[in-house]
Amino acid sequence: MTKSRNQHLQLTAGAVRVPETQNLSSVKLWCEYAIWGLLFHDDQSPWLTVVEALQICFHRKSEGEAVFTAVSPADSGEHEVITYRLRLNNGLRHMLFRDREVIRIANGQSVDDKARWQAWLDTLSRDYAGLELGFLQNEFDTFGEMARSVELLRTAEIEAQSAKRWTSRHILPLGPDMLFADVNDKNSLDRKFMRRTGEMLYLMLNRSASREELGKLVQERLLDASSPWNRLARRLGGANTASVSDAHIGYLPMPNSSVYDRLAVDWLSLLTLQNIPVENLLDPLERVSGLMQILYILERAQDIIGDDVAIPPFFLDVLGAPGNNPIRKLSANQFKRHRSMPVEAIGAFIDAFASSDEWRAVLDSAAGGKEAMDLIAARFLWKPSWSPNPDRTPDPEEQLTELRTQAQNSKGHSITSTFSNHAKHIGMLRAQRSSGTWYAPSDAFLEALVLANVTMPMEFGDFLNRLMTRYRIVIGPEEVRAAFNVKSSALPAPLADLKENERRLEDRLRVLGFLDRKSDDCAFVINPFHGTQTANNGAPQLVDA
C-alpha cells in the first residue's frame, strides 16, 4: 500500500503519526510543526486561545458528546480526529462591534419609542442591506432597553483595547450564544487571529490524566447555556444558527506529557473555586493556560536538544527597581536564554535527520542532489531556492545547510514569537524600548498563581518552592540557589538583592489580600476564594484583566 504524503513526514521520537485527514497544503516548512504542533500562533493571545478551546467543548456538548474523547493517543497510538462547527452569530457581532447608531439614537432627544425603532431600522437597511434585526422589536419592550443590553454585553468584550477588525472581536465565552467564528468580511473562515493555538490547548487537556474528571467540571462550570449573560446574548442575536465548519483539529505530536497533566490540574484547581463567578474566573484561567503553553514550548525544545536537565528557570523581577540592576539583568538574561532554545531545538531536529541512514545513503549516491531534494521535500515539505545555474542541482549538503538556515531564521509568525507574546499577554514579561525585555509579574499574574496553587494556608517559603517545582519560577535566594544549582557564594545575583526581591513579593501579595503574616518568622499565603479558607485581611477583589 502506498504511503500518503503525511506518512512521509519527519517526526520526533515518540510522536504520533500525522492523521491522513490533516491538510498540510499550505505548509512550506515542517520543522517547527513536527516539534511543537500545528500550530502555535503568535498573534493568538492566551485569551483567544481559551475561547477557541471552549468553542470545541461547546460544540461537543451540542452534539451530545463528552467534552473530551474517551480514548487518548497514549492509549490508542493514533492522533485524535475531531471536527467542530463555529457559530457565525453575525447579528450579535454587528450589534456589539459595528453598530454605532443604537447608542446615539438611544441618547438622542426623541422620546417617541416607535420613532427610535424606525430611525434605527432605516439606518440598518440603508447601510447593512440583508442584515435582518427587526425581530428585536419583539424581544425588548423599549428601544432603550435594547440599547442598554447592547451596552452591557459590550462590557464583556475580550481585549477591548485591541484594534482588531470587527469580525475578529470576541466576548467572554459564557455560553454558546456568545461565540463567534474568526472570519473575514465575506464570512470565510480565514483564521486571522484564531489559528489553532486553542486547538492545541484542547488537545493538551484531552491528553491529560485528569481529562475525565476535568470534562465533567468544564461542562458544569463553563458550558452552561442558562447563564444571564448567555440569555441576553441569545435575545440580541436571535435564533440564527448559521455556522462554518473546520475540517479537522490541528496536530499535537506527543501523546503524553507532564505539562498536559499540570495544565489539567491547574484547570481543576481554578474551576473548583465555586466562590468566584465564571466571568471572573476566566482571567486566571487564561493566564495559567498561557503559562503552561510557554512551559510546553520550552520543555519540548529541551527534549529535542537532548539535555537531560530541567529547563532554565524563569527569574521574576518583583523588585521593579530602575536601571540595569542585578535583578533585572538576571531576569533579562534568562529571557534571552529561553528565546534561544527553540532555535537550538530546530537545529537538533535537523541534525537527527542528517545522521539517519537514509540521508547517508543520499550522500553516497551518484544522483545525490536530486535524491536529496526529493527526500527533503518528503520529510520537511521544503524545497531549496532555485540555483542561478538551471542545469545544476545544489548538492545534498548545500540543501541541508539552506534548510537549517531557513528553519532557524524564520521571520514573522515563529514559535519564538509565540513564546514571547504569550509571556507578555499573561503578565509575566515586560518590555521597554530603553530598558530591554525581562520577566516581571503583573498583579493579575501573581493572583492567578495563588488561585491555582493555594487551597489551605501555605507557608510563604512553601509557596515559593511550589512555584519553582511546578513552573520553574524563582524569586528569592533559596529557590535561585536550587534552580541554578549553585552554592551561596556563587549566586547569579547579590544575596541582599535576592532577599529584597523576595520581600517585595511578600508585600505585593499582602496588598492583594493573599498573604497573612502571623509574626516576624511566619507568613502564610492564603486563597480567600477557596471554600475551606477565610480571608483574614478583608475580602479582596479580583484584579481586572
pLDDT digits (tens, 9 = 90+) for 149-175: 999 999 999 999 888 999 999 999 999
Q: Cell 440580541 sits at which residue?
A: 236
pLDDT, tens digit (0-9, with 9 covering 90-100), for 437-486: 999 999 999 999 999 999 999 999 999 999 999 999 999 999 999 999 99
Residue 245 pLDDT greater than 60, yes or no: yes
Over residues 105-115, the mean pLDDT reads 92
pLDDT, tens digit (0-9, with 9 covering 90-100), for 139-151: 999 999 999 999 9
Q: Band the pLDDT of 412: cuts 50, 70, 90.
A: confident
Q: State the chain's mean pLDDT as an integer.
A: 93
Q: Is residue 538 part of a domain?
A: no
Q: Is residue 469 part of a domain?
A: no
Residue 425 pLDDT greater than 50, yes or no: yes
Please choose, from the candidates 290, 330, 311, the residue with its C-alpha nearest in 3D space to the C-alpha of residue 439.
330
Any residues with CB less than 8 A from the CB of 71 and at least 6 apart, and which?
none
pLDDT (0 to 100) of residue 389: 65
pLDDT (0 to 100) of residue 388: 59
pLDDT (0 to 100) of residue 435: 85
Give the separation between CA 540 and CA 527, rounded to whole angstroms: 10
Q: Is residue 318 part of a domain?
A: no
Q: Is residue 540 part of a domain?
A: no
pLDDT (0 to 100) of residue 532: 56
Give me the torsion for CA of 257, 263, 269, 274, rounded to 10°: -140
Contact 68, 212 (CB under 8 A): yes
pLDDT, tens digit (0-9, with 9 covering 90-100), for 326-379: 999 999 999 999 999 999 999 999 999 999 999 999 999 988 899 999 999 999
Q: Is residue 46 part of a domain?
A: no
Q: Is residue 331 part of a domain?
A: no
Q: Cell 526581591 sits at which residue?
A: 501
CA 446 to chain centre: 18
**Percent of the chain surpassing pLDDT 70:** 96
Q: Is residue 487 part of a domain?
A: no
Counted domains in the chain: 1
Q: Is residue 362 part of a domain?
A: yes
Q: Enter the pTM of the model.
A: 0.94
Domain housing 382: 345-408
Give the separation between CA 409 and CA 403, rounded to whole angstroms: 10
